[in-house]
Amino acid sequence: MKRILVPALSLCITVALTACAGSAMGPPLSAASSALVQTGNNDVPFASANAAHKLCPAPTAGSLQCFGWIRTDVMLNGGLTAQIQGAAQSCPFSQGYCAIDLQDAYNLPSLTKGVGAVVAIVDAYNYPHANADLAIYRKTMGLRACDTKTKCLRIVNQNGNPSPLPGAPPPSQDWRGEQSLDLDMVSAICPNCKIILVEANNNNTKSLYTGVKTAGHIGAKYIGNSWGGPESGGDNPIFRQAGVVITAAAGDNGGGGLYGGPSQPCTYTYVVCVGGTYLVRTHNKRGWSEDVWNDFTVNLCGGPCGATGSGCSTVIAKPSWQNDTGCRTRSAADVSADASLRTPVIVYNSEEQCSPPNCWFLFGGTSASTQIIAAAFALAGNASKLTGAAHIWIHHKGNINDVIKGNNIDPHLGVNCASRVKYICHARAGFDGPTGWGTPYGVGAL
């Protein structure tokens, strides 16, 4: 696979997105700015104050938070989109990760597997441009078309019906950005999959959980949930559906005591709990290297910039298939993938502050990694044989990139790990909380 970079598609670095949105090509970078973003390993440094923000605020009682982030200091220039669309197995951008990069990083059979698999994405509220925006992403990335006309993409409400779809999200909650991130990541990893987008009425726990139940009932065998909240009770039967793999995000609030720690539905027994990494290119045999995602060391996001969640559950018993001995209850996460805001993924969303075709953005968060893993499970095609994360724990050897460096606590805030078990917040060889067993190397562990 070849990564083709188009120099004319430079980055526009601003303090506000609207500074880029007005022109077709955007202003040229100064020499200093070009030096800032050309790191060589695909790290995209934070360029200003307020460099990124969460798509969704902390949840209120009875509601759940989406776990996506968007970079607000960097906007990709889409002025040449029409010229580069359909370039099979190429990346038209010099920063951020395209579909081809993610497929390569995790050695995935994305172009040959997944035919007939159905992946459901469960999110809240309506995203009117979902179909059109996804079409632009897939065409630009050289992926086969998948839209509502061909029924490759279905968009339904939380009860599984095509109408009525829910209303718009509140201004403070960017669930449309979340849905674009989720759709693009599933497409990037499993372009041969069919997709069901389930739009719940709102972000209330009951509505989103109803969406998960519906997704399984209408044919999805792989369900990705890029949202969660604090633990509040024992296992929920909605998240144990026979012959269905359900993934959930470990969260973006770290493993410490300040909004971090174990999150549901991620810690439910049969859910595949997905953490996040910082993924860069390097000159080793794999061509890639990963550490625990922890941007807490940078206070350029209106505060700390986030880190992968992890936890030793306070309410869920130890599953029989988990063999780590420090945490006597359910350990999270199980597996991980790229989530860092400094190694972001590329997403197209015409409903952000932009003027089409300049609607390419850099996203991060465990929302991204959760959908990467859901789609990778679909490539493996083992849903009928699986119950939750047990397969990873049994088949990880030789099929996982072990992540052994980093932690997910915030030293600036003096926040310790929410668990007394060190490996729940600190990477080590083998299993650890922030990254689970590691990231996929092919689909043998899935």
- State the Cα–Cα distance between residues 149 and 323, nearest whole angstrom: 47
Q: Are 405 and 444 in contact (CB under 8 A)?
A: no
* Enclosing H/E stretch for 223: strand 222-225
What's the pLDDT score for residue 342? 97
Q: How far apart are CA 313 and CA 297, in angstroms?
A: 26
39 phi and psi angles, rounded to 5 deg: -95, -20
In a domain, 397, yes or no: yes
Residue written as tokens 């206070």?
299
1 found inside a domain = no
Backbone angles phi, psi at 24, to 5 degrees: -65, -40
Concatenating the DSSP letter of every residue in 5-35 gives: --TTS-EEE-SSTHHHHTSSS-PPPPHHHHH
Do the domain assignments include residue 446?
A: no
Distance CA 322, CA 185 (A): 28
The SS3 call for residue 289 is strand
Please report whether residue 269 resides in a domain.
Answer: yes
Is 138 part of any domain? yes
Q: What is the pLDDT of residue 109?
A: 98
In-domain check, residue 3: no
How many H-runs (helices) and E-runs (strands) does the chain carry?
Answer: 9, 20
In a domain, 2, yes or no: no
Q: Are 383 and 236 in contact (CB under 8 A)?
A: no
Residue 93 contacts residue 259 (beta carbons within 8 Å): no
Q: How many domains does the chain have?
A: 1
pTM of the model: 0.92
Question: What does each of the 446 residues of the chain score in pLDDT, given as a tens digit?
Answer: 455 444 434 444 443 333 333 333 232 222 223 333 445 688 999 999 999 999 999 999 999 999 999 999 987 875 555 455 555 567 888 889 999 999 999 999 999 999 999 999 999 999 999 999 999 999 999 999 999 999 999 999 999 999 999 999 999 999 999 999 999 999 999 999 999 999 999 999 999 999 999 999 999 999 999 999 999 999 999 999 999 999 999 999 999 977 889 999 999 999 999 999 999 999 999 999 999 999 998 889 988 899 999 999 999 999 999 999 999 999 999 999 999 999 999 999 999 989 888 899 999 999 999 999 999 999 999 998 887 899 999 999 999 999 999 999 988 778 899 999 999 999 999 999 999 999 999 999 99
**Is the distance from CB of 309 to CB of 334 less than 8 angstroms?**
no
Residues 6+ apart with CB under 8 A from 334: 272, 273, 274, 389, 392, 393, 436, 437
Domain that holds residue 126: 11-440
- 74 bridge partner residues: 13
Is the CB of residue 274 less than 8 Å from the CB of residue 309?
A: no
Q: Which of 446, 388, 435, 403 is nearest to 265 (CA)?
A: 388
Q: Flag whether 4 is in a domain.
A: no
Return the CATH number at 409. 3.40.50.200
Q: Give 179-198 as a DSSP string.
A: HHHHHHHHHHH-TTSEEEEE
d(CA 356, CA 271): 38
At residue 80, the pLDDT reads 52
